[in-house]
């Protein structure tokens, strides 16, 4: 398997956390790419019309995207059980994945407003609205934090953990821990999992 990636992408991190949890990380070859919200990278676009990472290339030539699909595919190859079987536990895990992904979507767009859009066309009101979504997601994470697993996580914990890690990486000024003590306590343990430590984001 080959993965088109960016070292700073929290969605790539989701995939690699799942791969580490399932013992499959060594089977994935990393392919360099330059994903950007405006400038398309032909290396990605050749396999994914959205030209976004992560994109997973299978040995039979098929490509898989986005992170939700890739994570479930990787879990199907391993034994970590990141995606619970049909039933209430599965819907809880998938909804929590949506919560973590929603936080990331809003945070990424807020960052792009400053880093990808020229200053003369930036829209501060739009960025504040996105950060309001981030804050609402943090409050929802705080509410469910007492029931989040630290060991044997589902895709819900993986997505939420990668979301909080991205805020640490790109939005330290938000200081999310100050008003979310339960989530802070959970994340302190979760962030120490080998799969999380092995996938810490970094600027290229």
Q: Which CATH class is domain 88-197?
A: mainly alpha
Q: Which structure tokens are listed for 89? A: 């536990």
Residue 204 pLDDT grade (very low, low, confident, very high; cuts 50, 70, 90): low
Strand partners, 57: 2, 63
The neighbour count for residue 27, using CB atoms within 10 Å, is 12
CATH number of 2-77: 3.40.30.10
- State both tokens at 74: 């990787």
CA–chain centroid gap for 35, Å, is 15
Please state the domain extents for the chain: 2-77, 88-197
Residue 30: strand pairing partners:
3
Average pLDDT over the chain reads 96
pLDDT in tens, 162-198: 999 999 999 999 999 999 999 999 999 999 999 999 9
**3-class secondary-structure state, position 148:** coil
Q: Output DSSP code: residue 65.
A: -
CA distance 201 to 204: 9
* pLDDT one-digit tens code per residue, 75-86: 999 888 999 998
CA distance 40 to 176: 33
107 — pLDDT class (breaks 50, 70, 90): very high
């Amino acid at each position: 398997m080959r993965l088109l990636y960016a070292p700073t992408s929290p969605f790539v991190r989701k995939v690699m956390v799942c791969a580490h949890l399932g013992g499959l990380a060594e089977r994935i070859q990393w392919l360099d790419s330059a994903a950007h919200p405006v400038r398309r990278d032909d290396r990605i676009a050749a396999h994914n019309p959205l030209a976004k990472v992560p994109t997973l290339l299978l040995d039979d030539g098929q490509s898989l995207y986005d992170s939700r699909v890739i994570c479930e595919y990787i879990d199907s190859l391993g034994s970590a059980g990141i995606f619970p079987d049909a039933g209430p536990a599965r819907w809880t895990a998938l909804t929590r994945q949506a919560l973590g992904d929603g936080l990331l979507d809003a945070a990424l767009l807020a960052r792009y407003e400053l880093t990808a859009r020229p200053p003369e066309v930036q829209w501060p009101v739009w960025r504040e609205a996105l950060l309001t979504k981030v804050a609402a997601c943090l409050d929802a994470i705080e509410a469910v934090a007492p029931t989040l697993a630290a060991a044997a996580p589902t895709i819900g914990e993986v997505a939420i953990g990668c979301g909080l890690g991205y805020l640490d990486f790109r939005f330290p000024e938000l200081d999310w821990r100050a008003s979310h003590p339960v989530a802070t306590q959970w994340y302190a343990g979760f962030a120490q999992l080998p799969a999380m430590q092995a996938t810490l984001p970094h600027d290229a």
